[in-house]
Amino acid sequence: MSSPVSSIKNLGPAVEQACARAGINSAEELRDLGADEAYRRLLQSGTKPHFIGYYVMHMALQGRPWNDCKGKEKDDLRITFDAICAEFKGSKASHKSEFEKVLNEIGVLPANPA
């Protein structure tokens, strides 16, 4: 029997819905994936990156209060968060549609969209 994602303390219905969109359908699956891989999947499914959401997930999976993340631990998580976001941004840019590629080639789209 599986438990809902929202059964993990500090993860509510909004996180549960985002996880479902990312194909993460239980607390057990989220725990097995870990926060980093789960967050990658959230980004891939359209969740906008947000550092607080990322570290809250880390704290929740450790059974700690969301605001327990401080100092060097928080700094280290920020580095990992930025790296995960950079991976996603790079993969998103590499999956442009053929139409977008043609528009870019003829100068309709900026060469390096923000």
Could you give the domains of the chain? Answer: 5-105 (1.10.150.20)
How far, in Å, CA of 38 to CA of 43, rounded? Answer: 9
Phi, psi of 45 (to 5 degrees): -90, 5
pLDDT tens for each residue of the chain, 114 residues long: 899 999 999 999 999 999 999 999 999 999 999 999 999 999 999 899 999 999 999 999 999 999 999 999 999 999 999 999 998 775 544 445 555 556 656 666 555 544
Contacts of 83 (CB under 8 A, 6+ apart): none
